[in-house]
Amino acid sequence: MVKIFETTKSLNGNIWDFSSPDERLVEQMAQKNNFSLLLAKILVSRGIDADSAAAFIAPKMQNLMPDPYVMKDMQKAAETIANAIIDKKKIAIIGDYDVDGATSSSLLSLFLQELNVDPMLHIPERDEGYGPSVKAVDDFLAQGAELLITVDCGTSAFEVFDYAAEKNLPVIVLDHHEAEARLPKVLALVNPKRLDEQNDYPYLKYMAAVGVVFMTVVAVNRRLREQNFFAERKAVDLLKWLDLVALGTVCDVVPLLGLNRAFVKQGLSVIRQCPNLGISALAEKVAINEAMTSYHLGYVLGPRINAGGRVGDSSFGSRLLCCKDKIQAEKLAEELDNFNAQRKEIEAYVLLQAIEILEGQPQKYPIAFVYGKDWHQGVIGIVAGKLKERYNLPAFVMSIEDDEVKGSARSIAGIDLGALIMAAKEKGILTKGGGHIMAAGFSLEEDKLEEFREFVGNYVNETMQTDSLVPVLDVDASIDAGAANVALLDELQLLEPYGAGNPEPKLMLANALLKKADIVGAGHLRCFLTSLNSGSVKAMAFRCADSEMGKALINGVGKTFNFVGVLRRDNWQGRNQAQFIIEDAMEA
């Protein structure tokens, strides 16, 4: 990456980094695959070579998915679950309350139901805490559970699983969270992030929990075939559940590369055929009237499925995704949409308080570290993400409850939150905690808050690179405003699905004349841009009317700017037009 405009920050205070791939590789990519130079440049910048471009554009699961048994304990897990199905044992499932947990538990439940096994399912409420609990184990045992399977949780549930072992309840863990050197005493723990896993298939570590569950279901299905289970019954079509795999994978913000990309690409094809009543009902509720993309999964459906676990009923997400009655699915979709509206109000209140605290006093460390009494646990993760974006710093947001402090964190490049949380646990500062590189959850006692602040501050100071404090926008290419059209959108569509590891291409409209800028809706700017070649494009800048950029654009009509943003399709009222979404600007 070659950094330009280093001495002149943009209107939003960013520095723009432009990709600068080897021109020979770009030419080779374009010629071999019949791509435009723009598309070729983006692909080469993302580490794709000319020979692997076709496989990236159209990834095939059969070429990317290894034998599930390559993961430790997978064979034992598959054989145990298959035998439980054959013997009609009572199976219990515990899942997480986010979208990955809802899709993971729904996928496993639907698979078992198709084989005439009706599992017991428990999704903990947030005040119960993340993952399995002794109470959940006791409740399942009272209902006659003979096998417990945890999905998207369980890797660090040592005490709970010791208790389950005392009660002779076998446990299988299907998870993807960071693991410690020691593992819980369970029958099988399938987690690609186990420290003793092989690295023959490194992209397996990127899987969301729903991907791990899907591979487990594939292994169980194969084991059942080997035991002639399907001799007198119809075989199960596992591919029909790739819609759930795609939804959970996108919403858990794991890299959409390798197998994950294939999961989402094929899963979106399944979603467009509307096989899942819950997904279809929710899409109808929010009036999605176009072919669904990863954007709809991550920014439209995902927040609503998450809302049940944040401010409503944690079970609603999995109930919606498992629903087999259209009317019931519509009711659940409406409830989740209402929960999402409540979540937005609560989130705005907590975010405002957090900003007032942070900006009302000097901060000793390069972190956004803030806590408040009885802040709603369901929104602290979102607020942490908003603070991270606002300040470009690692953000830690905590709610002080009666018995303990519960927190959520979001990181920036260069700070591994999973490692940070593990280190704080080992020092005895945190009572619970876990997560990924970029996101984590944790608990601690109130009298440990300042010690935790010191620990986090010192950790970040020692780890963070100085230049990571400067907000940077990575720009894929520069184009003329007249080139921002439907034809370009059609070509860029080859890069979808977008997500972590494969972001939506950021483009700069160079030397665009701002012909019009007016405020619409809740502080949005509607703009009209023309190029020196007299081409034009409509543009929107969301929630920015009161920002420095918004003020500059409102007062800058008739001036020439460089704009950075993404090109989106505008399908309003059946039209098919290109619309540029402005993220940043700089006077040309």
Amino acid at 326: K
Domain assignment of residue 35, yes or no: no
Among 469, 492, 511, residue at a domain's last position: 469
**Domain identity same for 284 and 368:** no
Same domain, 451 and 370: yes
Statement to judge: residues 243 and 201 lie in one domain = yes
- The CATH code of the domain that includes 514 is 2.40.50.460
Higher pLDDT, 76 or 391: 76
192 neighbors 140 (Cβ within 8 angstroms) = no
Residue 344 domain flag: no
Domain count, the chain: 3
One DSSP character per residue, 283-304 reads HHHTT--S---HHHIIIIIHHH
Strands of the sheet with 368-373, listed across from one edge: 368-373, 395-400, 405-410, 439-444, 432-435
Q: CA 365, 366, 370: angle at the middle one, nearest 5?
A: 75
Q: Residues 6 or more apart from 450 whose CB is under 8 A from it?
A: none
Identity of the residue numbered 54: A
Position 52 in a domain: no
* Same domain flag for 568 and 532: yes
Would you say residue 355 lies in a domain? no
441 shares its domain with 500: no
Residue 51 lies in a domain: no
- CA–CA separation, 458 and 187 (whole Å): 39
Q: How many CA atoms lie within 13 A of 98 on its CB side?
A: 23
Question: Is residue 561 very low, low, confident or very high in pLDDT (cuts 50, 70, 90)?
Answer: very high
Domain for residue 271, yes or no? yes
Q: What is the β-pairing status of strands 15-18 and 472-475?
A: parallel
Residue of 523, 527, 577, 582 whose CA lies nearest to 557: 527
Q: Do residues 404 and 452 touch, judged by C-beta distance below 8 A?
A: no
371 and 455 together in one domain = yes
By the 8 A CB rule, do 343 and 310 touch?
yes
Q: Is 569 helix (H, G, I), strand (E, B) or coil?
A: strand
> Rounded distance, CA 407 to CA 460, Å?
17
Whether residue 402 sits in one domain with residue 537: no
Q: What is the gyration radius of the CA atoms in the chain, in angstroms?
A: 25
Q: 15 with 111, same domain? A: no
CATH of the domain at 205: 3.90.1640.30
pLDDT single digits (tens) 79-94: 999 999 999 999 999 9
CATH number of residue 410's parent domain = 3.10.310.30
Percent of the chain predicted with pLDDT > 70: 97
433 and 571 part of one domain: no
Alpha helices in 464-505 (DSSP H): 486-492
Residue-wise pLDDT tens digits, 101-140: 999 999 999 999 999 999 999 999 877 877 899 999 999 9
Q: Does residue 403 surpass a pLDDT of 80?
A: no
Dist. CA 337–CA 437, nearest whole Å: 30
Whether 280 and 151 share a structural domain: yes
Please check whether residue 484 lies inside any domain of the structure: yes
Averaged pLDDT of the chain: 92
3-state secondary structure of 487: helix
pLDDT digits (tens, 9 = 90+) for 219-246: 999 999 999 999 988 889 999 999 999 9
Distance CA 24, CA 135 (A): 62
Residues 6+ apart with CB under 8 A from 547: 12
Residue 467: the pLDDT is 54
Contacts of 389 (CB under 8 A, 6+ apart): none
Residue that finishes a domain, picked among 454, 469, 484? 469
* Residue 384 tokens, joined: 């942490």
Whether 72 is in a domain gets the answer: yes
Q: Are residues 494 and 389 in the same domain?
A: no
Whether residue 375 is found in the same domain as residue 267: no
pLDDT tens-digit map of 253-302: 899 999 999 999 999 999 999 889 999 999 999 999 888 999 999 999 99
Where is the domain boundary, 301, 336, 371? 336
Expressed as residue numbers, the domain containing 571 is: 2-19+476-587
Task: In whole angstroms, give the CA distance from residue 320 to residue 301.
Answer: 12
Phi, psi of 537 (to 5 degrees): -155, 145
Q: CB under 8 Å to 304, separation ≥6 — which residues?
A: 282, 286, 333, 336, 337, 339, 340
